Structure 1
């Protein structure tokens, strides 16, 4: 049985693999991303681990950074060919937890895909629905990290309802869904794409 957004999740995973396949070894192994201290291979290692959330993350409780470090370290031990083979299987057969939580998994995946693309100075055309998932996931991440989603009224300029409370004391931030979502998720390098009022 295909669950809602499962096709979109698989499609975005395949698009990420296509991006990684195009990278030369040095960029794959040590290229810059928007995730501090993570290369494209490290981002992929993290994403693969999320598919087995119960085993990879639940034992760490609220200490997600420790879980991330362990999963990235584990992935660094694999040669590129084996890591990419695992990624192809991951793309074709998402775990039940990722399929059930596809709205969250898809947003996290799309943000991390943009972390790689933007960090390496590459360009990609985003499918129409992907920026919305980036925005939603950015808003969720903001609630647990920087609280920007509570301090600003977020106003997408590309066709999505505003997020936040309209108040004389609340500043507004305007931009595309993708840029706003990345900023809400803590990627400050996109700030120059936004307008603050």
Structure 2
């Protein structure tokens, strides 16, 4: 039986090690998340460190009183609230963020009502949010990808942001470098990284998706800003 927690531990440790290598300037680079710099994404990934079953609401670890207060300040708009939460956590010194992430390595908790694999999905996608703008890729961990990708296709994980099930409906999606595929219809091929980014509604280069259904999938992405140059 696959132990999701072992993969999560590896991802957290690997990301903490990678963050240790960044310069002060790289911590300030804009991530793939429009509201967050690299430091804010890293800070967001430490949120589960405040986990308490009765406090976890909408994927954010906050006591009920603080939740209502901060939602009120954001005009009860969840996306604005989540963005501000990430910026608040990202304002900590890089050394503190890295230390908090390392403390999480052995933790085995996930938000109530969400699949056990959810924290692994979160860190796998956010790792790309950090690495891509820095032009510092890594090989996609095939086993972690195989655990995470089906969550987007079966239950529409994070549908508030991703809406991945609708995007890939009627298409066959193939991650050709890890031997993973899903769906039926015109084929869309790409690397596991490009496929995961697409499922998570992140930008991909115009030549990263190929196949008969590639143009159709591109047209379903939310706006032309979701496509970036391969240059």
* TM band (smaller chain): 0.7 to 0.9
| RMSD, aligned α-carbons | 2.9
For 2:23 and 2:127, the matched residues in 1 are separated by 17
Q: 2:150 aligns with which of 128, 131, 136?
A: 136
Segments of 5+ residues of structure 2 without an aligned counterpart are: 59-66, 213-231
- Summarize the Cα distance change of 1:123–1:21 in structure 2 as closer, same or farther, 3 Å threshold: same
Deviation of the 1:156 alpha carbon: 2.5
Deviation of the 1:183 alpha carbon: 1.0
Maintained 8 Å contact 1:32/1:39: yes
Q: Which has the higher contact order (CA 8 A, sep 6+)?
A: 1
TM-score by length of 1: 0.79
Is 2:103 aligned against 1:113? no
Describe the SS at the equivalent of 2:123: helix
Maintained 8 Å contact 2:175/2:195: yes
For 1:183 and 1:79, the matched residues in 2 are separated by 31
- Summarize the Cα distance change of 1:119–1:102 in structure 2 as closer, same or farther, 3 Å threshold: farther
Maintained 8 Å contact 1:142/1:148: no
Deviation of the 1:194 alpha carbon: 1.0
Q: Cα deviation per residue 1:33-80 (whole Å; 9 max; x = unaligned)?
A: 2211311211112212245385353357x9642342232132133222
For 2:140 and 2:108, the matched residues in 1 are separated by 21
Segments of 5+ residues of structure 1 without an aligned counterpart are: none
The equivalent residue for 1:49 is 47
For 1:137 and 1:190, the matched residues in 2 are separated by 23
* Count of equivalent residues: 188
Is 2:87 aligned against 1:87? no
The equivalent residue for 2:173 is 154
Is 2:39 aligned against 1:24? no
Aligned ranges for residues 4-23 of structure 1 at < 5 Å? 4-23=3-22
For 1:176 and 1:142, the matched residues in 2 are separated by 22
For 1:53 and 1:69, the matched residues in 2 are separated by 21
The equivalent residue for 2:189 is 174
Deviation of the 1:130 alpha carbon: 2.6
